[in-house]
A and B are shown apart, each in its own frame.
Chain A
Amino acid sequence: MMHRFLTAAIVAGVAAAAVSSTACGQDTTQVRPGVRLGLSYPRGTTPKVVVMPVDSTPGDSVRTIIQRDLDYSDRVTPLVLDDATLAGMAPLPGKDYNYSLFANLGVAAIIQAKKTATGYSVALYDVGAGRRLEGRDFRIAPIPASRDAILVDSITAATTMREKALRDSLYRTLKTRADIMRRPRIARDTRPRRFVVRDSLRRDSAAVAYMKRGVTRWEDDRRDSVTASVTSTATRLARQDSANRTASADAQRMGVHHISDEVERWITGKTGIAATRIAYSQGGVIRIVDSDGANDRALTRGGLAMSPAWHPSGEKLIYSKFIAAGGGTQLEEAELATGRTRTIGGGGLNITPVYSHDGQYVVYASGSESGTDLMMVNVQDPTVVQRLTFGRGSDNGSPTLSPDGRQIAFFSSRSRYPQIYTMDADGTNVQLLTPFTPGVRSYRAAPDWSPDGRAVAYEQQNGDFQVWMINIRDKEARKLTSEGENEGPSWAPDGRHLSLSSTRGGSKQIWVLDTESGRFRQLTRYAGARLSAWSSMITNP
């Protein structure tokens, strides 16, 4: 607790030293000259903050996203006030905030974001100290306006012009034929004049009828095909436009999450985890969802894919995919931006892949008649495979790397039932991590090493399946869940939150657990969601 606190505390300044250190959220012994002053709030509490309205647009989604992110961080408590109250608390033009108004509500800090030409200008105000503490401009590209109407107009205009030209040319063709029709059949007509005039009128009306018929038929023919052509072109362009706008909206959301994470660092000293994504498997499809549950979309289509794992860049995923008709499973890598996929290695049983921290290697489990063992393969040259475990017919899988990359934790059934073991990254020095009583049935699997290296989370069966964590240093194990069945934990980059599959809400869903407060929140909404993997910080949305 103290250790976290030291790193979490915003480095204190001279003025803060005057405040009682027991009542103040910082360690005053760490004073260094020239560093900024941190926010002061009572030790062991989550400071209350107010996010001021960002602009006058209804819905105010930027403010909503920031408030939600701060709430999900479990380190800060956003105080959600109604717009009328907030309007009364906003500073007058050219004046500072009336800090005592906020202090009376127990608010420690005010967050204020203003729209700029390139994004948002965000500032943090310390209510206790009565001054602006931090501030920065964030670049966020705006979502381009919908071009649907413009597109349809311009396509229609272009089509109309082309149709007019076609129509003119048709008219000339018809006219030529009609003129021929008008000519008298007999060169020198000697009949009485009334017959000559009657025949001339008949020929003329026949020519006019011919032209009318020709134009009408042409128009009838063209109308449907022209409409279809305009519609299909407009639809295609509109779809493209919409995809661009969606991608841009996703990037903008991620940009706002970055603001939340930075604000959280200003307040608590630790960067938040809002700008992250969680991949999971559902109905055989790999899906990706933002940390706040928004933007849930499928990455793979068809087939049966399992066990996604993130590339350290957050731009690629690797997972195992069943080959049709009993062909086994193979590893597949997919780029998020393009959806492009690449197969790594051959058939057989190839499961539970994870990337090394440099993204150059993949550690996975490969099965054969003589058991399932961990392998390491070079992503660029998948023919180079190094065997890491020699399980002698046992099952070894679900590898997870320690943050320094020097060790691998995995499950192994070498002692009959699966247990969690650790070994050095080259496969030597295998050690049992989770103690068990020989002969007594116990079952532990699905390990995930915390990003701070201190603990491994896993699932354990005691009747039902629950998620536990064990400290690496003292091997002290702690049960984290008890309601429903909970499986497959994956750590957030903060080493505090876990994503896991849980049946606590009825169907199997991915939930986020704060291991410190025990708070749960549901992340997904599709039944049968499982095998989640939390990304590292997304730096390039």
Chain B
Amino acid sequence: MSGRTRSLTVKYNMLPKARVLGIALVVAAVAAGCAKKPAATRPAPRRINTDSLVREQARLDSIARADAARSAAASAAAAAAAAGPATAAPVTSTERITMATTIYFDLDESSLGDESRAALEAKAPILLRHPGMRIRITGHADARGSDEYNLALGLRRAAEAKRYLAALGIDESRMEIVTMGEEKPAVQGNTEEAYALNRRAEFEIIS
């Protein structure tokens, strides 16, 4: 487990470099653009969209927070183990709400977006704080496409969420995954909005 944590840390520590490089590239590209077209109407640097950088920073921050939470929980667990049989702290309603947060996916995708990762990172410390808590992750798909393929896709989405939580230090045996395919839509209707809300993974505390 510590090996996995370390490699993860190493991986994420590398990311800021990539970010710097990315900015450099963008600036370079803009400079090149200006060189080619000196008559550009507005100074291009103002157009740099920093959303992704901000998001990336937020993600890294949340990972740092999760790391901190994890190590705190680990030391607390170690202390509790040293002190004697653990007394399980009751799960607060705030924690329940955080645990129940649904994550969403892009069309035909099982990869996690930034928001989904952030939601999972918020769940991880709670799972670490309550070692007895077990959860069920249910993957869903929207109504389009093969009903049968959508069952497999739903399972892949749930599995992806489980993998990410496991990477954050949650024991795999505490998480079970199932799929409902397109059989249990959260929202009825054949609109893009309804489809987007139905491509999801739901979380449930089972014990």
Chain A residues proximal to chain B, CB less than 8 Å: 284, 304, 306-307, 322, 326-329, 349, 351-352, 365, 367-372, 393, 395-398, 411, 413, 417-418, 441, 443, 445-446, 459, 461, 465, 487-488, 530-531
Contact = CB atoms under 8 A, between A and B. Distances in A.
Interface of B: 108, 136, 138, 144-149, 151-153, 155-156, 159, 162-163, 176-180, 183, 204, 206
Contact of B108 (A322, A365, A443, A531): A443
A372 B155 contact: yes
Interface of A is mostly: strand
A436 to B, nearest CB: 14
Contacts, number: 90
A530 B144 contact: no
A327 B148 contact: no
Interface of B is mostly: mixed
Nearest to A320: B151
B178 A445 contact: no
Contacts of B177: 369
B204 A367 contact: no
Contact of B148 (A328, A441, A446): A446
For the complex of A and B, the 9 pairs showing the least CB-CB separation, nearest first, are A395-B152, A445-B146, A372-B152, A369-B159, A367-B155, A445-B149, A326-B178, A446-B146, A352-B148
Contacts of B149: 395, 397-398, 411, 413, 418, 445-446
Given A304-B183, A443-B145, A459-B146, A349 B152 contact: yes
A326 B138 contact: yes
A487 B148 contact: no
A478 to B, nearest CB: 20
A393 B111 CA distance: 13
B147 to A, nearest CB: 6
A144 to B, nearest CB: 42
Contacts of B159: 368-370
A329 B108 contact: no
Contacts of A367: 151-152, 155, 179
Max count, chain A CB within 10 A of own CB: residue among B151, B162, B178, B179: B151
Contacts of B147: 306-307, 487-488, 530-531
Nearest to A445: B146
B204 to A, nearest CB: 7
Contact of B146 (A327, A368, A370, A487): A487
A528 to B, nearest CB: 11
B175 to A, nearest CB: 10
Contacts of A446: 146, 148-149
A441 B206 CA distance: 38
A329 B162 contact: no
11 contacts: A306-B148, A322-B183, A349-B155, A349-B179, A371-B156, A395-B156, A397-B148, A411-B146, A413-B153, A441-B108, A446-B149
